[in-house]
Every structure is written in structure tokens, then in C-alpha cells.
């Protein structure tokens, strides 16, 4: 698969949803710890999300840095529609039964179709890994403040307590001080590849387009079942 294809595959495992729950900003380490708990509670209330994003992948083995951008709609728990602006027209659609990966920028004659039962729920909502019982699954360290897309945030390092079969070696999530949403996350996978996803806009519990979660392979395109 090409580098652009790998960018799209990486993003399939990187999308998230949280919700606004408070307007108090953390000023102490104890308050910052409470921010994580607010994010966990808020995430559980989300039904839909719409966002725009920028993604950067750094591969230390090749020394290459790849970027991508686009927008997505999400209807939890199992529907997702990603439209890339760069590379243009690439799409990821999870319709509740299958994940469809269509990358005309690199493979215009092919669509990859994967059962969601095989892909797992994390394929369309990585927040499930970050914000489902994080204090049970991870060693957590507060890492201070950072401004993300003009928003004041505080960060948390998450290191799996059980590394066997873990999806990543370490993740850092940046949570909005005002509304307790995740605004950015950085993940280092088992091979050392680093992925950063920054949300440039983000709204939860808003109307989404049901048609966005329907994918029909273009005429003449070969469907590859995985």
C-alpha cells in the first residue's frame, strides 16, 4: 500500500467523539485530574459528532513525515464517514456492518471491504480506548498545558498497564479546559510510528447526514473483501 493509503488506514483507527460538560478551567494538578474524569463522563453522552481534522504521521524508520486533512461525521456506536480534502476524494465509510476503504488517489480501481465485527469498535471510535475506564487500563501522568486550535487544553500521558496486545505504547491526549473535549491526541504505536490528530473544528450531538454512512462502490471498481 502507498504512503497515502497508509495515512487513510491510520486515520480509520483515530477518530473520536466527546461532549461539553463544564466551563471550569483546571488550575491545580487535582483539578487537572478531574478534567480527565469530566471527559470520560462527557464522552459517554455523545450520540453524534462532526469535525474537521489534520493528521501528521512520523515514521522514524524511514525518516518520512506524512500529512492529511479532511472532515468526518460520526453516529455512535458504529457509523462513520470520512472525506479527505488531502488526498482529495479518498473516503472511509463505516456503515454499521462493514468498513469501506476507497482511495482513488492511490488505488482508483479498488475498494477494500472489512466486516466491522472483525475490525472492532475501536476502528470507528478510538476514544473508546482513551476514555473507557482509563484509570484501570493506563498509568496516567498529567503533562501540563498547551493551546490547541486556539483552545486552552491540558494533557495526559496514557501508558498501558498491560502491554501485551495493547494498541499503542503511549498516547497523549489534550483535553479542552472549558468543555472537556479531546482536541488533539498523539499516539506512538508498537513499531515506533507516531501519529498526531488535531481537530480544527468539532461539534457534538448535532444533525448528521444519514446518506454519508452509505457507500456504493463506483461502477467498474473491484471490491476486495478482507
Cβ-count burial of 109 within 10 angstroms (0-12 exposed, 13-18 middle, 19+ buried)? exposed
**Residue 117 confidence (pLDDT):** 67
Q: Could you give the CA distance from residue 122 to residue 187 in angstroms, rounded to a whole number?
A: 14
* DSSP 8-state code for residue 164: T
Q: Does residue 53 carry a pLDDT above 70? A: yes
* DSSP 8-state code for residue 205: S
**174: which strand partners?**
155, 184
Domains of the chain: 3-225 (2.50.20.10)
Q: How confident is the model at residue 123 (pLDDT cuts 50, 70, 90)?
A: very low
Cβ-count burial of 133 within 10 angstroms (0-12 exposed, 13-18 middle, 19+ buried)? exposed
Q: Does residue 159 carry a pLDDT above 70? A: yes
Cβ-count burial of 161 within 10 angstroms (0-12 exposed, 13-18 middle, 19+ buried)? exposed
Q: How confident is the model at residue 83 (pLDDT cuts 50, 70, 90)?
A: very high
Q: Which of 80, 22, 24 is nearest to 50 (CA)?
A: 80
* DSSP 8-state code for residue 147: E
Q: How confident is the model at residue 106 (pLDDT cuts 50, 70, 90)?
A: confident
Q: What is the pTM of this model?
A: 0.77
Which of the pair, 68 or 29, is modelled with greater confidence?
68
Q: What is the pLDDT of residues 124-157, one digit of tens each?
A: 565 667 988 899 999 999 999 999 989 999 999 9
**Residue 2 confidence (pLDDT):** 52
* DSSP 8-state code for residue 226: -
Q: Which of 202, 182, 180, 201 is nearest to 42 (CA)?
A: 180
Q: How far is CA 206 from the centre of its chain?
A: 18
**Residue 16 confidence (pLDDT):** 37
Amino acid at each position: 500500500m502507498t504512503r497515502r493509503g497508509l495515512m487513510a488506514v491510520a486515520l480509520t483507527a483515530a477518530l473520536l467523539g466527546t461532549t461539553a460538560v463544564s466551563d471550569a478551567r483546571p488550575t491545580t494538578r487535582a483539578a487537572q485530574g478531574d478534567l480527565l474524569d469530566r471527559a470520560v463522563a462527557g464522552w459517554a453522552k455523545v450520540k453524534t459528532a462532526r469535525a474537521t481534522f489534520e493528521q501528521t504521521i512520523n515514521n522514524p524508520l524511514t525518516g518520512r513525515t506524512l500529512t492529511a486533512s479532511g472532515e468526518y461525521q460520526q453516529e455512535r456506536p458504529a457509523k462513520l464517514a470520512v472525506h479527505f480534502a488531502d488526498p482529495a476524494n479518498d473516503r472511509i465509510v463505516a456503515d454499521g456492518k462493514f468498513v469501506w476503504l476507497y482511495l482513488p488517489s492511490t488505488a482508483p480501481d479498488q475498494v477494500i471491504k472489512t466486516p466491522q465485527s472483525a475490525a472492532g469498535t475501536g476502528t470507528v471510535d478510538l476514544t473508546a480506548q482513551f476514555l473507557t475506564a482509563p484509570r484501570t487500563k493506563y498509568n496516567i501522568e498529567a503533562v501540563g498545558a498547551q493551546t490547541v486550535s486556539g483552545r486552552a487544553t491540558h494533557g495526559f500521558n496514557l501508558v498501558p498497564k498491560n502491554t501485551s496486545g495493547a494498541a499503542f505504547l503511549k498516547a497523549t491526549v489534550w483535553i479542552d479546559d472549558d468543555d472537556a473535549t479531546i482536541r488533539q491526541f498523539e499516539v506512538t504505536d508498537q513499531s515506533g510510528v507516531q501519529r498526531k490528530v488535531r481537530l480544527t473544528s468539532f461539534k457534538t450531538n448535532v444533525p448528521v447526514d444519514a446518506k454519508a454512512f452509505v457507500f456504493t462502490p463506483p461502477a467498474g471498481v473491484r471490491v476486495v473483501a478482507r
